[in-house]
């Protein structure tokens, strides 16, 4: 079977697609991944074909005129490849249009913004794009989920804001990079205090040199939520907590006078592995980080910035898996971390969520269900 995968989001979205694309290929299927050129590296050395043929979305709306350009770039590739199934990033709507045009089942793979948008709110602009490319319009906001949708969280812990029928949840592998390991110095860290892992994701560091006036970002908001201010507040907050902290900077500069002896700075780390020995994660609230925390049974202190992160932070609080920090302030960050570390209920609920996740079908089971969808041209069956 031939499977077409598309991603136009950030590297984290590509990494969310990777385990499923890899599993499909290892099950004997021919997989073609089509992405913007800057995402091809995510799929290097994998048993899939990769084509950097899609335009990068930039700051334009995912349902704006650029969607038609993406459709026109993707359609001839899809016609030539002849897929029996299309897997797309959660807000990569051009692939669903291609599926409609070719009569091929199409499914979204979960990613941050793809979990939280309201299908009813994008119906009108999507219909405008359909008309632009010659597709019939529809009155059904769930047409983009005609064959269902995939999730990577247990149903009672899902972060999908607008649930839809025919959702199949599966368990992502604990690690994406099979060869990654922790450096030796991590093994030598003190174990008499809780280990706190902190990171601001892969997207925020890319904005460290951004000029807010060039992107219509209010200066007061940028002053508070830019990557440098955010990361330095996190480091200063963790310096006040009785813990051992490992912080991934993503290349964002840190004022050394804010760094206490209990805080260890690195540019990046193998986050899924490090979470296996952590007691708390201080996070920006990206979907991948939250999913990895749940998979590792680690409670969270969430300091959201944009996109799906505020809704994710509220959902973490609702589920009792951690707390939302509401101000970019060292004292507030320290208070939030201490609250989670000192209340055993957070760890108890995190362990319960972890067990629910471990009870989900594996990614190999998901491939079997995808094979059925393609063969029968019918929607997913809920797991």
Query: Which pair of structure tokens corresponds to residue 290?
Result: 């939250």
Give the model's pLDDT for residue 224.
Answer: 67
For the cut 70, the answer to whether the pLDDT of residue 213 exceeds it is no
Distance in angstroms (rounded) separating the CA atoms of residues 211 and 223:
11
In this prediction, residue 218 has a pLDDT band, given cuts at 50, 70 and 90, of: confident
Give the model's pLDDT for residue 239.
Answer: 98
Mean pLDDT along residues 167-186: 90
Give the model's pLDDT for residue 207.
Answer: 72
Neighbours of 369 (CB within 10 A): 19
Give the model's pLDDT for residue 98.
Answer: 98
Contact 182, 165 (CB under 8 A): no
For residue 355, give the nearest of 308, 294, 313 by alpha carbon: 294
Please state, rounded to an integer, the average pLDDT across all residues of the chain. 93
Distance in angstroms (rounded) separating the CA atoms of residues 35 and 98:
15
Distance in angstroms (rounded) separating the CA atoms of residues 306 and 295:
23
Give the model's pLDDT for residue 52.
Answer: 96
Q: What are phi and psi of 289, to 5 degrees?
A: -65, -40
In this prediction, residue 59 has a pLDDT band, given cuts at 50, 70 and 90, of: low
Q: CA 70 from chain center: how many Å?
A: 21
Query: Which pair of structure tokens corresponds to residue 355?
Result: 């067990």
Mean pLDDT along residues 333-357: 98
Residue with tokens 């209010």: 218
Q: What are phi and psi of 250, to 5 degrees?
A: 65, 20
Query: Which pair of structure tokens corresponds to residue 18?
Result: 């990777």
Give the model's pLDDT for residue 383.
Answer: 58
Minimum mean pLDDT among 38-47, 63-72, 73-82, 204-213: which range?
204-213
Give the model's pLDDT for residue 62.
Answer: 82
* Contacts (Cβ under 8 Å, ≥6 apart) of 124: none
Helices (H) and strands (E) in the chain, counts: 14, 13
The model's pLDDT over 111-163, given as tens digits with 9 standing for 90+, comes to 888 899 999 999 999 999 999 999 999 999 999 999 999 999 999 999 999 98
Burial per residue of 28-42, b for 16 or more beta-carbon CB atoms within 10 angstroms, e otherwise: ebbbbbbbbeebbeb
Query: Which pair of structure tokens corresponds to residue 93?
Result: 């709507």
For residue 163, give the nearest of 115, 121, 205, 130 by alpha carbon: 115
Mean pLDDT along residues 74-95: 97
Alpha-carbon torsion 145, 151, 157, 160, what sign?
A: negative
Give the model's pLDDT for residue 29.
Answer: 99
Mean pLDDT along residues 265-274: 95
Mean pLDDT along residues 95-99: 97
Q: Spell out the domains of the chain, with CATH numbers in brackets.
A: 2-171+360-376 (3.40.50.2000), 184-358 (3.40.50.2000)
In this prediction, residue 215 has a pLDDT band, given cuts at 50, 70 and 90, of: low
Distance in angstroms (rounded) separating the CA atoms of residues 350 and 300:
9
Q: Which uninterrupted H or E stretch holds 196?
A: strand 195-199
Distance in angstroms (rounded) separating the CA atoms of residues 300 and 290:
8
pTM for this entry: 0.93
Contact 47, 57 (CB under 8 A): no
For residue 90, give the nearest of 155, 159, 31, 184 by alpha carbon: 159
Give the model's pLDDT for residue 216.
Answer: 67
Neighbours of 266 (CB within 10 A): 15
């Amino acid at each position: 079977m031939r499977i077409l995968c598309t991603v136009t989001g950030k590297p984290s979205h590509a990494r969310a697609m990777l385990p499923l694309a890899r599993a499909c290929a290892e099950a004997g299927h021919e997989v073609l991944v089509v992405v913007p050129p800057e995402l091809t590296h995510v799929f290097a050395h994998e048993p899939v074909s990769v084509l950097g043929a899609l335009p990068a979305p930039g700051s334009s709306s995912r349902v704006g005129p650029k969607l038609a350009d993406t459709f026109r770039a993707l359609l001839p590739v899809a016609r030539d490849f002849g897929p029996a199934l299309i897997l797309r990033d959660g807000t990569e709507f051009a692939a669903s249009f291609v599926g409609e045009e070719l009569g091929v089942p199409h499914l979204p793979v979960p990613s941050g913004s793809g979990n939280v948008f309201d299908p009813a709110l994008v119906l009108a602009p999507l219909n405008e794009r359909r008309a632009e490319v010659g597709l019939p319009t529809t009155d059904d906001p769930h047409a983009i989920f005609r064959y269902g949708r995939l999730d990577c969280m247990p149903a009672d812990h899902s972060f999908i804001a607008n649930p839809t029928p025919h959702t199949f949840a599966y368990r992502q592998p604990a690690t994406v990079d099979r060869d990654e390991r922790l450096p030796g110095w991590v093994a030598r860290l003190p174990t008499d205090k809780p280990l706190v892992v902190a990171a601001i994701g892969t997207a925020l560091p890319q904005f460290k040199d951004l000029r807010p006036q060039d992107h219509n970002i209010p200066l007061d908001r940028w002053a508070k939520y830019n990557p440098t201010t955010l990361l330095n507040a996190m480091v200063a907050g963790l310096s006040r907590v009785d813990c051992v902290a490992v912080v991934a900077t993503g290349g964002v500069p840190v004022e050394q006078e804010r760094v206490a002896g209990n805080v260890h700075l690195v540019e990046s780390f193998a986050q899924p592995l490090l979470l296996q020995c952590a007691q708390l994660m201080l996070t920006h609230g990206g979907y991948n980080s939250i999913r990895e925390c749940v998979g590792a049974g680690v409670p969270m202190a969430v300091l959201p910035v944009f996109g799906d992160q505020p809704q994710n932070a509220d959902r973490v609080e609702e589920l009792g898996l951690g707390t939302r920090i509401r101000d970019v302030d060292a004292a507030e960050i320290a208070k939030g971390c201490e609250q989670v570390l000192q209340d055993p209920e957070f760890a108890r609920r995190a362990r319960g969520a972890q067990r629910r996740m471990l009870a989900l079908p594996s990614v190999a089971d998901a491939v079997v269900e995808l094979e059925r969808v393609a063969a029968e041209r019918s929607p997913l069956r809920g797991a």
